[in-house]
């Protein structure tokens, strides 16, 4: 191979161009800004689909944050040592019967 001939120069230009094209294709595929032939960057504009996905993503993150806040409150309620639903129910059962209106309804009897 003649290192000083035009074939070598054309081969170098072709390899560089193919490498640049492959680099930009990979960058475009993964959403990175593209590089022009002078080394500058060209930012991708958001498409309608991208804007819709970003809006949906924002809504889902907001919903997730709200659910995490609710989960924290529920964990506090359940793990609170003073929380004893069984004891509270039993205390209500043990109260005096005189504190309310007794229901002694029989079949056919109206309140």
Per-residue pLDDT tens over the stretch 99-110: 555 566 666 555
Range of the domain at 70: 48-93
User: Is residue 40 in a domain?
Assistant: no
Higher pLDDT pick, 77 / 39: 77
Residue 76 domain-assigned (yes or no): yes
- 86 assigned to some structural domain: yes
The rounded distance, in Å, linking the Cα atoms of 53 and 32 is: 17
Total count of domains within the chain: 1
Of 49, 44, 19, 42, residue with least CA distance to 30: 44
Long-range contact pairs involving 103-110 (C-beta distance under 8 Å, separation at least 24): none
pLDDT surpasses 70 at 43:
no
pLDDT in the model for residue 6: 83
pLDDT category, 49, cuts 50, 70, 90? confident
Q: What's the pLDDT band for 19 if we cut at 50, 70, 90?
A: very high
Please check whether residue 106 lies inside any domain of the structure: no
Cα dihedral 101→107→108→111 (10° resolution): 10
Return the structure tokens found at 76.
């506090």
């Amino acid at each position: 191979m003649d290192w000083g001939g035009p074939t070598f120069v054309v081969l170098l230009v072709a390899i560089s161009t193919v490498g640049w094209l492959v680099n930009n294709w990979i960058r475009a595929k993964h959403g990175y800004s593209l590089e022009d032939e002078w080394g500058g960057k060209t930012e991708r504009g958001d498409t309608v689909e991208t804007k819709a996905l970003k809006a949906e993503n924002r809504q889902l993150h907001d919903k997730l944050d709200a659910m995490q806040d609710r989960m924290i409150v529920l964990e506090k309620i359940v793990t609170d040592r003073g929380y004893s639903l069984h004891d509270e129910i039993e205390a209500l059962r043990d109260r005096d019967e005189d504190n309310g209106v007794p229901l002694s309804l029989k079949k056919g009897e109206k309140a």
